[in-house]
Structure formats: C-alpha cells, structure tokens
Amino acid sequence: MKQTSSFPGRAALVTRAAAFFLTASSISLLTALPQAAHAQGTVEALLYSTMPSTSAHQPTMAMDGDDKTYFRTTGGMSGGDDFLVLLSAPIPVRSIKIVTGDADGQDILANAVVDTSPDGVTFAESAPFDATGVASANLGGKPVQALKIHTTRRRGGASALVIREIVVDSATKISHVQMGPGRGWADISAAPEVAAWAARAEKQMEAFWPDTAALLYTDGIVTPNMVNVVYRTGPGVTAVAATGGGVMTVNTAWCKAHDDDTGLTVHEMAHVVQSGPNQPGWLVEGTADYIRWIKFEPQNYKTRLNPATATYHDSYRTTASFLAWCELHYDSKLVTKLNAATRYHRFKITMFKDYCGKDVDTLWSEFIAAYKADPVNIITPPVPPSERPRKLPAVKAGSGVSIDLAHFFDSPGIAKDGASTGTGLDGEGFAYSATLLGTQQTIHEVPFKLGAAGGNNAITAKGNTIPLPAGSYSGLWFLGTGIEGDQADQPITIDYTDGSKETVTQSFSDWYEPQRHPGESRGVQMAYRLSGDGSKDERTFFVYWYGFNLDPTKTVKDVKLPDNQNVKILAITLTN
C-alpha cells in the first residue's frame, strides 16, 4: 500500500542490532571492514537517494568535482528522505563541505543536517545547513565511511533538493563514484525479534530491485535506489505495510503472523521505484502487485476473482492479472508505458486502446471470457512447441544406420589442428577440431559418421531436403549446432512414402552457449575450437545431439531442414 502523506518524523537510525543483515547486502561493504581509517591510497563511493532525479541531473553529479553540474531531485525532500554517500572503507577526513541550491540561489536546503558515520551503520550529526544552503564541518581526521543528508522537518522547504557539490577533504582520495545497487536500509530497533524476517526481505528487495527498475523504466528518469525500512507496530501503524516520503513502514505484528510473506516488501519497493504521482490509485497499486506476483513470485500466485463483480480498476491483484493478460496478448511493454504516463501525469484510460488496439472495456470483456474458459492458465505464457518436453526415441543397440551426407556437405565445419580452416563453420574461419571430434561418434547407442577434415563436412540448413534410405524406423538423430546465437523454433519436416508428413519444431543452441532445449543434449564437449589459421580458441564448445520420433508403421522418405543458415548439421542417423 502506498502512503501519500509525509511521515510525522524521520526514521530512527539503524542500530547495531540490525547490522548483521545489512552485511548481507550485495555491495559487501559492511563485512570485514578495517576498523582503522585508510590513511592513504584510494576508496570508491556508492551514492544512494530515496528521491528520483533526471539523467540531466543525476546523483553522481553531486561528486563530480564540477560545481557547474549538480544533482537535482524531481520533487521536494520529505522528513524520511536521505541522500547517502557510502565509501568502500573508512578514511580520515579533515573536513567536509556540501553546497546546495542552484546558481540563482533557488532551492537552497534549509532545516537540514549532514550526519557522518565511521562504519556505515551508526551516524551522528556533524553540521547543519546554514541560511545559504551550505553545510561544512572540520572533522580533524576523524574516520568517516558514510555521510548522510536529511531534513529535520517533515519537508525541507525547497521544491527540489539541489546538491551542487560534496567535497570531502582527506589524504585518501575517492577514485570512483557511482550509483549503488538498489536496497533497503532496515531499522529493527523497535522490534529486534523480526531480524530474520527483515533479513530475508532485504535480500529479496536487493535481488529484484534491478528488474523492477527495468520494468518501470522511464526515459530520462533516474529512479530511487534506496528506502528506509522501519519495522514497528502499535496504534496508528499501517496494518501491513506502507511507503512514502523515503520510508517503508512494515507492521511487525503482520511479520510475526505471516512468516512467509516477505514478498510484500517487493510490492512496497515497487512504489519506491514508481516514485511518482499516486493517481490513478488502482493502476499504481495494480502495477506494484504486478511487480510482486507476476514478475517476482509467479510460482506463488493464481488469479482468483469473481467474474460477475470484478472490474479492471479493482486494484491490487485483479488489476495485476489484467495487466499481465494484456501484455501476454497485446503489448508486452504495456506496464512500462502506462507507468511512464502516470509518472508524468499523462495517464489517460484511452491509452489502453492506443497500445492494445482495443478500448479497456473490450479488453476487460475478453479477459473475463478467457478467465471463465481457463482460470488456472489465464496469465500463463504459451510454451513454444520447441520448448515443450519431448520423449526421445528408444534405441536398440546395433540398429543405427548412418546416412552418407558427402553429397550435401557445403561448408568446412571440421578442420585439422594447425591448418587453415577456410571459411569455417560460421563463415568467419572458426571450426571444430578434427582431433577432438574425429570421424565417428557414438552417443547413447546412436552411431554418427562425420565428414573428413580438409574439405566440406557440414550442411548449412537452407530448407534443403535430405533423402533417407527407405525403411521403417523409430528414431531420427542429428549431430549439429546453432551458430551466431541460439536458433529458436526451427521446423524440421519428415516425409513418408505414403504422402504423409510430420513437422517437429526444434531449437538449436549456439555451439558456445548450451541452452538445454527439449530434444537437445550436449553430444560432444570440446576444450577448444579452431580459428582461421588453425590456432586454438581455448574455450569450451559443443556439438549437440538431437532426437526425433518417427512412425515405425510407415516408410520414411526424406527430411527437410529448416531455412536458417545459422543451423549446421554434421551427421544424421536412423535407429530402431
């Protein structure tokens, strides 16, 4: 649930009781840090902000050494908002100076302070901001690992937070500044008993923050990468969780009663990333539930609604399912587009027709009809035929018939070590090693006959038809690969002498990147391939083994390969 009003006071400081799970953060800055300040050398800095900004005035501009550039938020600073600088190690600091406000003296930060921390966990006030929007402090070489800017009132007074420059005077230089990975900063001081719950929630938020930022991406906007998470309970505390003004409040009573519901913080984290207007509320909340249930933990979610009474604007899960269904059938980027419109105060209900080609009421009617027909799979993406599980043919030992492909080979896919490979398998001179692959391979009782090195020994799939020896067989096998990346959903057509045919869709992994497609196995693993001059490209490469069921009651005639020159076939075998 998104909380729209400012919080009455800023969040309490993170206590050492919470420090143990802050160390689990991906940045790994609070683990095994030296206790003494680094007196020389360099450190790096990660920047965190609970407030959105723009790419023209992004957070790193607050520490770029150029007072002509500056960091500027898209809105004012609330009582729970922070701007945080976290160093990779504590350093001895002589002084700090922070200048706010633009060149015209507007948006000066007042009623605010800068805190410093020797360890990134406990903070103490070091300097207030004066009437000119400047905070400065002589620290006399005190160790500092983090500094944090925050207001002392519900709002800082300015229409935006503008930081012209943060100057840290130290013998240890800050060599690199960048945005930190998105994460929550938890305060369990009022409820240390939920530490384990909070630790799991933090890991989940941190892991899915990049995905959420990508799903809710808006060109030109830098979304927040930080939220203060406060765990408490009592009168006036939200029943479950609420987010606003830089703070996510989680009711500890709910945590204790719902040990497995840590995913609720992913919903709230989505509100942090949305970081914009909260209207229309049904879409804002539906989008946050879309992030949680459709993208983060779909394995724990099933659409449940009353078709007679539900509406697309019911919010939360109902809206989330509707959005997911629209993306599945009409516009795969619908949520991203609608979120961008909401962020810029431009959302109109007619956008459903703009992006999906049908008005929202028509879409809802279709959604309800689909739900009535199959409520279980209403938002289950269809599985391509090539990715459906397929049982491979059984093979009787000694039944294999290797096909002579010499007449059909058109490229030198296998070469001798140290010899020129010509155009190679991929047209760029790369080829398999004959030393490693040989001229025969037997894989799970299936024998394959390969072409000799020194000439053409691979077939390029161009819709070509390969005749097969007449007979009744139960299995057809390929030895081959994809090149230039994964080659998905390739049709292979088997013709029988009675005029019938069967088409099987198969995906072919790239020879360097196996994907574990149904019907495909790693046939031969090789420690290198050959470059154009015959030298070794010493990485792991594969040739794959593919199996297709045949109708043993019919006589096979031929097989038609896909029309895709990035599919290469080295050998074909029939079995019973």
User: Which structure tokens are listed for 182?
Assistant: 């998105």
Strand partners, 558: 467, 495
Dig out the tokens for 151 from the structure: 């207001």
Q: How far apart are CA 560 and CA 493, in angstroms?
A: 5
* pTM, two decimal places: 0.67
Query: Residue 512 phi/psi, 5° resolution?
Result: -105, -20
Per-residue pLDDT of the chain (576 residues; tens, 9 = 90+): 544 332 223 333 333 233 333 333 333 334 333 344 555 689 999 999 999 999 999 999 999 998 889 999 998 888 899 999 999 999 999 999 999 998 888 888 988 999 999 999 899 999 999 999 999 999 999 999 999 999 887 655 568 899 999 999 999 999 999 999 999 999 999 999 999 999 999 999 999 999 999 999 998 899 999 999 999 999 999 999 999 989 999 999 999 999 999 999 999 999 999 987 778 999 999 999 999 999 999 999 999 999 999 999 999 999 999 999 999 999 999 999 999 999 888 999 999 999 999 999 999 999 999 999 999 999 988 778 788 888 899 999 999 999 999 999 999 999 999 998 889 999 999 999 999 999 999 999 999 999 999 899 999 999 999 999 999 999 999 999 999 999 999 999 999 999 999 999 999 999 998 998 999 999 999 999 999 898 999 889 999 999 999 999 999 999 999 999 999 999 999 999
Q: What pLDDT is attached to residue 156?
A: 52
Do residues 92 and 142 make contact, with C-beta atoms less than 8 angstroms apart? yes
pLDDT at residue 68 in the model: 87
C-alpha angle with apex 274: 268 to 275, nearest 5 degrees? 95
What stretch of H or E contains 540?
none
pLDDT of residue 457: 95
Cβ contact 266:245 at 8 Å:
no
Q: Which residues share a beta bridge with 177? A: 45
DSSP for residue 563:
S
DSSP class of residue 382? Answer: P
pLDDT of the residue at 76: 86
The most distant pair of C-alpha atoms in the chain lies apart, rounded to whole Å, by: 93
Output the pLDDT for position 387: 82
Q: Looking at the DSSP assignment, which residues form a beta bridge with residue 474?
A: none
Matching residue, tokens 């991203």: 336
Q: Distance between CA 187 and CA 231 in Å, rounded?
A: 6
CA distances from 307 to 312, 318, 331, 368 (A): 11, 11, 23, 6
C-alpha span between 270 and 288 (Å, rounded): 5
Residue 252's alpha-carbon distances to 65, 216, 246, 273, 547, in angstroms, are 43, 29, 19, 23, 55
Give the H or E element holding residue 267. Answer: helix 264-274
Nearest in space to 334 (alpha carbons), one of 208, 212, 210, 216: 216
Provide the pLDDT for residue 235.
Answer: 92
The sign one gets for the Cα dihedral 21, 22, 27, 30 is negative
d(CA 210, CA 427): 38
Sequence letter at residue 485: G
Peptide bond into 298 cis (omega under 30): no
- The three-point CA angle 476-478-483 to 5° equals 150
Residue 271 makes CB contacts below 8 A (sequence gap 6+) with 2, 243, 244, 284, 288
Residues 6 or more apart in contact with residue 74 via CB below 8 angstroms:
51, 52, 53, 54, 160, 221, 275
Distance CA 121, CA 521 (A): 50
Q: Would you report the helix, strand and coil content of the chain in percent, each value rounded to 5?
A: 20, 35, 45
- Contact criterion met (CB below 8 Å) for 318 and 305: yes
Closest CA to 572 of 445, 405, 410: 405
